[in-house]
């Protein structure tokens, strides 16, 4: 027999975590978040007059709105930074490809203020991204 699952929402009120089980029109409280699942499962089982093993809960924690908004803004900033970092890396690969058409790796390194090993590393990264569709063979240059 599968357990019946109930959606539970919980938020901090004073020193307690207060939860609601809307489908049953009831709720309860717990001293800490770690206890909410157990307590909510027990309340639902008692409400339905069934064994707690036949009840499951899916708990959603409501945090302070300002904190959640700030967290979401930080995630957006992080995503924008990843995009900017990828764009910068592509620009660097492009510069190395262009200069390597005319100069040796040591000379490119000297021009750009990086080691020849870094030039080779950037080249290898650039070449790894250029493969023939459906093949792992690099595109001839």
pLDDT digits (tens, 9 = 90+) for 69-85: 999 999 999 999 999 99
Condensed to tens digits (0 to 9), the pLDDT of residues 16-30 reads 999 999 999 999 999
The residues, ordered by sequence, that sit 6+ positions from 46 with a Cβ below 8 Å of its Cβ are none
Spatial contact of 58 and 5, defined as CB atoms under 8 Å apart = yes
Spatial contact of 7 and 22, defined as CB atoms under 8 Å apart = yes
Paired with 7 in beta bridges are 58
Q: What pLDDT shows up at residue 13?
A: 96
Averaged pLDDT, 43-58: 96
Q: What pLDDT shows up at residue 1?
A: 62
Paired with 66 in beta bridges are none
Q: What pLDDT shows up at residue 96?
A: 96
Spell out a b/e string for 55-88, using b for 16 or more CB atoms within 10 Å of the CB, else e. bebebeeeeeeeeeeeeeeeeeeeeeeeeeeeee
CATH class of 4-63: alpha beta
Phi, psi of 130 (to 5 degrees): -105, 90
- For residues 70, 76, 77, 79, the Cα torsion angle rounded to the nearest 10 degrees is 150
Going 27 to 33 to 39 to 44, the CA torsion angle's sign is positive
How far apart are alpha carbons 50 and 67 in whole angstroms?
38
């Amino acid at each position: 027999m599968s357990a019946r699952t109930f959606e539970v929402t919980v938020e901090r009120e004073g020193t307690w975590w207060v939860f609601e089980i809307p489908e049953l029109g009831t709720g309860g409280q717990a001293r800490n978040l770690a206890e909410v699942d157990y307590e909510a499962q027990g309340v639902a089982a008692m409400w339905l007059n069934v064994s707690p093993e036949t009840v499951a809960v899916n708990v959603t924690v409501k945090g302070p709105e300002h904190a959640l908004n700030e967290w979401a803004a930080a995630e957006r900033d992080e995503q924008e930074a990843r995009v900017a970092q990828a764009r910068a890396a592509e620009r660097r690969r492009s510069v190395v490809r262009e200069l390597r058409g005319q100069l040796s790796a040591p000379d490119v390194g000297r021009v750009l203020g990086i080691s020849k090993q870094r030039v080779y590393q950037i080249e290898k990264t650039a070449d790894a991204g250029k493969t023939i569709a459906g093949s792992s063979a690099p595109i001839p240059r």
